[in-house]
Amino acid sequence: MRDIRNIVILTGAGISAESGVATFRGPDGLWEGHRVEDVATPEAFRRDPALVQKFYDARRAKLKSVEPNAAHLALARLDAEWPGELLIVTQNVDDLHERAGAKRVLHMHGELKSAWCLACDERMTWEEELSSGPACPECGLAGRLRPDIVWFGEMPYEMDRIEGAIREAGLFVSIGTSGAIYPAAGFVQTARYCGADTLEMNLEPSLGSVYFHESRVGPAGSLVPTWVEGMLGGEHRSSRA
Catalytic residues: 109
Which range, of 113-121, 127-135, 164-172, 196-204, touches ligand BV8 by CB under 6 A? 196-204
Q: How far apart are CA 151 and CA 154, in angstroms?
A: 5
Q: 128-131: long-range contacts (C-beta < 8 A, 24 or more apart)? A: 128/60, 129/53, 129/57, 129/60, 129/61, 130/53, 130/56, 130/57, 131/50, 131/53, 131/54, 131/57
Buried b (16+ CB within 10 A) or exposed e, 106-129: bbbbbbbbbbbbeeeeeeeebeee
State the nearest-atom distance from the C-beta of 128 to ligand BV8, in Å.
18
Residue 49-68 contact track with ligand BV8, rule CB under 6 A, x = bound: --------------------
Should residue 198 be labelled a site residue for ligand BV8 when binding is judged by CB under 6 A?
no
Should residue 225 be labelled a site residue for ligand BV8 when binding is judged by CB under 6 A?
no
Which range, of 87-95, 119-127, 138-146, 192-200, touches ligand BV8 by CB under 6 A? 87-95
DSSP secondary structure letter of residue 170: S
Q: Identify the helix (H) or strand (E) that includes residue 237.
A: strand 237-238
Binding residue for ligand BV8 (CB under 6 A) from 44, 86, 150, 166? Answer: 150
Binding residue for ligand BV8 (CB under 6 A) from 6, 9, 14, 86? Answer: 14
Amino acid at site 176: G
Whether the bond into 137 is cis, omega within 30 of 0: no
Binding residue for ligand BV8 (CB under 6 A) from 182, 234, 240, 241? Answer: 182
Should residue 115 be labelled a site residue for ligand BV8 when binding is judged by CB under 6 A?
no
Binding residue for ligand BV8 (CB under 6 A) from 38, 203, 209, 238? Answer: 203
Concatenate the DSSP letters of all residues of 85-124 into one string.
-EEEEE---SSHHHHHT--SEEETTEEEEEEEETTT--EE
Binding residue for ligand BV8 (CB under 6 A) from 75, 149, 162, 171? Answer: 149
Which range, of 45-53, 125-133, 138-146, 147-155, touches ligand BV8 by CB under 6 A? 147-155
Q: How far apart are CA 183 and CA 186, in angstroms?
A: 5
Q: How far apart are CA 198 and CA 162, in angstroms?
A: 16
Of the two residues 24 and 82, which places its CB atom closer to ligand BV8 in the complex?
24
Binding residue for ligand BV8 (CB under 6 A) from 36, 52, 89, 196? Answer: 36
Binding residue for ligand BV8 (CB under 6 A) from 78, 130, 220, 231? Answer: 220
Say how far residue 29 (Cα) sits from the centre of its chain.
16
Q: Residue numbers of the site for ligand BV8 (CB under 6 A)? A: 12-14, 17-18, 23-26, 29, 36-37, 40, 91-93, 109, 149-156, 176-178, 180-183, 202-204, 206, 219-220
